[in-house]
Amino acid sequence: MKTYDWENTIDPEDKETLWVPQQRDPRQYPLGLYSIMVSALASAGSFLWFESPRELLMWLKLGETKLHDVPHEDLPNIVGPVDNALAHLDNSSQTLSQELLGPIQEGFQGHFDIDWCGNFGELASGETPFALEVRKRFWEHYSDHRLTDLEVQRHVPPDRFDDFVALLSEYGV
């Protein structure tokens, strides 16, 4: 499992490195983020996967801002809340609390939206509205008949994770 030191590995000219979190397998990098690029013409979203909350926060500060070409004058609105979250992060935590994530989401407004932050297991079996919607799309994609509400809400079993990961890699794109 490769954890990036985003501060030392991001070259704004190297767009390939900027797509690394999107190409990761969530079974190896279980902390996820679903973000939607904000544009006047359209919106597209993608899942990004990280090893830890610290890695995710560093990505938001250094990678996401470069990927979306956030103007220099808007950076304090993003960097300040991310630095605050880094300072208050519980190193034993496997995810980010809404208390830490909320100000970061506000800072990124107008550039991209963070629709979800959590872990892979939550998507496969959680009961949040976002997890239920993702699983609904998964079951509908792989079904040859109209599904009931209960069928689309069922958990994704481990033997279907390959298909689930494949759907997540294309979700929102």
Tallying the residues shown for the chain, one arrives at: 173
Domain count across the chain? 1
In the predicted structure, residue 5 carries a pLDDT above the cut 90? no
> CA-CA distance, 56 to 64, in Å (whole number)?
10
Regarding predicted confidence, which is higher, 101 or 67?
101
Residue 102 falls inside a structural domain: yes
Residue 94 falls inside a structural domain: yes
Domain that holds residue 31: 6-170
Nearest alpha carbon to residue 34 among 58, 17, 15, 50:
50
Residue 1 falls inside a structural domain: no
Residue 143 falls inside a structural domain: yes
Residue 70 falls inside a structural domain: yes
Q: What is the pLDDT of residues 41-87, one digit of tens each?
A: 556 789 999 999 999 999 898 888 887 778 889 888 888 999 999 99
Nearest alpha carbon to residue 97 among 134, 56, 155:
56
> CA-CA distance, 72 to 99, in Å (whole number)?
25
Residue 15 falls inside a structural domain: yes
Q: What pLDDT band is residue 109 in, cutting at 50, 70 and 90?
A: confident
Helix or strand (DSSP H, E) at 36 = strand 31-37
> CA-CA distance, 19 to 39, in Å (whole number)?
19
| pLDDT for the residue numbered 130 | 94
Residue 24 falls inside a structural domain: yes
